[in-house]
Amino acid sequence: MTVEKNVPVPMRDGVTLRADVYRPSSPGRFPTLVYRTPYGKDDLVESGSEPTIVRAARAGYAVVAQDVRGRYHSEGEFRPYQQEGKDGYDTIEWAAAQRWSNGRVGTFGLSYPGAVQWLAAMESPPHLVSIFPAMTFDTGRHFFYFGGGFNHDWMRWILLTIAPDVRQRKGLRGAVTEKEAQSEWDRLKWQWENYLPLHNFPVLRDIAPWYYEWLEHPDDGPYWDFADVTKAYPKIAVPALNFSAWYDSNYGPLGAIGNFNGMREKGATDLARRGQRLILGPWDHGDPSEHEIKVGDLEFGPNMTFDYYGLVIRWHDRWLKEMRNGIDEGPPVRIFVMGDNVWRTENEWPLKRTRYVPYYLHSRGRANTAAGDGRLSVEGPAGADESPDHYAYEPWRPVAIENFEKMGPYDRTKIHNRQDVLVYSTEPLAEDVEITGPITAHLWAASSATDTDFCFMLYDVYPDDRAYNLAPNEAGFIRARYRTSESAPEWLTPNEPTEIIIDSMVTSNVFKKGHRIRIDITSSRFPSFDRNPNTGEPFGTSSRLITARQTLLHDTAHPSRVILPIIPRGSQGP
């Protein structure tokens, strides 16, 4: 293998990006893979991409690993995602024109390196043949705001992964290595995460001025068009393997599903429409392992192991080398069914054989905590026995998610001991129940505030009362002002019941006999999301916090329920 370091790649505006080129030692022209990253091309072991690059070069590929604009060895100003479409186009076309390339180019990468692939494909580079975008979005705004709540984890991302290089480039004071940044974060994160108002947070002003632009655009609108893949499907003409996981950041599984279905329907060519594949596994956000069988606190057995790096190469072998290796044949969807802990192929998503069953919320007004009287059943509201449930959301003591930085399934019984968390559980199941597909909550709620948040989570409750979340921390969340539109906020009328629909959750899990199905409902999920101050003031400007007194109704006129996608046991996919 031959490696060329810091090869200059000119962009159309005169900026030079730098790339390392890996290729077979033998002479010739090779199919070419492009990997673009903000995390440092010199640190591919840490990013998890080195195995793919080395294996690809040994398999007869030239691989271009590039620092994106404004990062490490590349010139220019870093503005996350906003420049990646044009820079990706220019890099792909540059690679195709090199003496060591045969002109057929593919891309791969996960998270940010996954997103840049779609952004480049939106520009329709002529020599792009196939893409492997893993764990990324379909609608760019959902990378930053989900359900209208701001993903507070961006602060951590900037301070841990972006800030050290920026400080070195600009000569700023502060941590200049990831180790120093981690130590600083561990010491100050509680102070930083709780800082109000968000717009006045001083630490990122010189490091990431674009962060404050994000805060200035909480509504959906033209600002976010630079990263809206959904509007560009008719311009994208390449096969894509859409890859994510049940415990990926929530934009990941929803983005993979959205892009898979959107491209199948609207892709620019018949080949692009037919060439879409979808894989959803049991992992969290990161490269799946060939050896690991555990995510979070749960083991999923030997079927969980996965040769991700080999899959990247097989995918591009099919399209760049035109090898008939079967990867594009058969059912286009492959999912890992948790509980049974098996892989299964399907013809579509969601599954045609799904039975969407409403599970209704019940109580006599005391559903607070797991020790309360909240129940979940397929029976409708029971009239006089259905008293509303109440709790107080106090933003200065939000429901804090343990292990939110680690991701994955964890026992959340501590949360279910809080009085500001409503808990509804089924009786122990008499038989196995499979839930695979989108989960939607219809909550009839009233609040004393003009704006507040509501969120729910689905749990698998074991016979010993351990309760494991079945979706990422960002799933199942809505900011009330965005309940009907993400572009036109609508404030609540205080204490007036309104139906809140939350439809941002997917999973696949078999609840075993003797287990229980549970949902919880509360009004904060911190620090995954910023805290709603309940004041109705413009987003990010308030340092004033007030209590929201929340009411959840579940009577015959207000049938609060969660719609579960039941897959009949014994039914088979293709």
Which residues are catalytic, by number? Answer: 111, 248, 285
Token pair in block for residue 105 = 């180019």
Cα–Cα distance between 169 and 172 in angstroms, integer? 8
Per residue, the 3-state secondary structure of 373-403, as one string, reads CCEEECCCCCHHHCECEEEEECCCCCCECCC
Kindly give the residue spans of alpha helices, DSSP state H, lying in 174-276: 178-193, 209-215, 251-266, 270-274
Question: For the purposes of burial, counting CB atoms within 10 Å of the CB of 270, is it exposed (0-12), middle (13-18) or buried (19 or more)?
Answer: exposed
Map tokens 């607070």 to a residue. 368
- C-alpha 392/C-alpha 551 separation (Å) is 9
Report how far apart, in Å, the C-alpha atoms of 163 and of each of 172, 208, 317 are. Answer: 10, 8, 37
Q: How far is CA 20 from the centre of its chain?
A: 29
Which of 301, 281, 278 has the alpha carbon at shortest distance from 291? Answer: 301
For Cα atoms 270, 274, 279, give the angle at the middle one, nearest 5 degrees. Answer: 150
Residues contacting 270, CB < 8 A, separation 6+: none
As to burial, measured by CB atoms within 10 angstroms (0-12 exposed, 13-18 middle, 19+ buried), residue 436 is buried
Give Cα 374 distance to the centre of its chain: 30
**Cβ atoms of residues 143 and 137 within 8 Å:** yes
Polymer length of the chain: 574
Counting Cβ atoms within 10 Å, is residue 122 exposed (0-12), middle (13-18) or buried (19+)? buried
Alpha carbons within 13 A on the beta-carbon side of 394: 6
- Helices (runs of H) and strands (runs of E) counted in the chain: 12, 26
